[in-house]
Amino acid sequence: MVRTARFSEDDFIDATMALVAEGGPAAATMQAIARQVGAPTGSIYHRFESRSAVLGAAWNAAYGSFVKALAPLLREGRPREAALAILPWSRENERRARFLLLNEPIALFEDTPPPAPLREELERLENEFDGAFRACVAGCGDGTVRDEELARAKFLIFDAPIAILRPHLVKGGPLPLFAERMIAELHVGMPIAATRDGSMRTVGAA
């Protein structure tokens, strides 16, 4: 008779996100992850070779979900909508949002990098997201991607919205209703790129 596995990889990934979201990277030891799931410690090693492996899998799962939500809007040249999409994504994926937006990979993997397949998957996701982001910036101007425009777009689409959300993600609970208004107002009258005639093009306005 084939014995069905009681605990899945997703169980351990979800537990890892929860521990890091609540207590930071140091909270996600292999023993703590197994305890969070209610599994024996040995069970996690049947699925992940190391702590960096389960952290890497958790990061890729959260980041992949984030990319899936925003990249299509970026490719369509809709920077304001991409920035605003961070809100529903964070509401629908509270644990992933706290794990992803309150941490940096360097802190998660300061001791040991994740195994090669996970690093390759992260690189693929980063390239996909960067390509969509650059296409958005290029599409908002004359097709040339300038450093200033990249910096402006990064601030408007990612840095500012995440900064608005961060205090509320730290506290937990519902995100404020005013966050959407603040993010939208940032994009009103703030051009990302110049048009061919040198004038500044406002993007994302209704």
pLDDT tens for residues 128-181? 999 999 999 998 877 777 888 899 999 999 999 999 999 999 998 889 989 999
CB 2: neighbour CB atoms within 10 A? 4
Angle at 22 between CA 49 and CA 58, to 5 degrees: 30
Q: How far apart are CA 92 and CA 140, in angstroms?
A: 29
Token digits for 20? 């890091």
Element (H, E) at 75: helix 51-75
5, 9, 112, 179, 188 from 43: Cα distances, Å? 10, 10, 21, 42, 52
Q: Which of 49, 50, 23 is nearest to 36 (CA)?
A: 23
Say if CB 7 and CB 43 are below 8 A apart. Answer: yes
Which amino acid is present at 70? L
pLDDT at 101: 96
C-alpha 110: how far from its chain's center? 19
Q: What is the pTM of this model?
A: 0.88
pLDDT in tens, the chain (206 residues): 334 458 899 999 999 999 999 999 999 999 999 999 999 989 999 999 999 999 999 999 999 999 999 999 999 999 999 999 999 999 999 999 999 999 998 888 887 899 999 999 999 999 999 999 999 999 887 777 788 889 999 999 999 999 999 999 999 888 998 999 999 998 886 667 544 334 334 444 43
* Upper half-sphere CA count for residue 137 (Cβ side, 13 Å): 20
What is the 8-class DSSP label of residue 27? Answer: G
AA identity, residue 71: A
DSSP 1: -
Q: Is residue 184 within 8 Å of 87, Cβ to Cβ? A: no
Could you tell me the residue ranges of all domains in the chain? 59-201
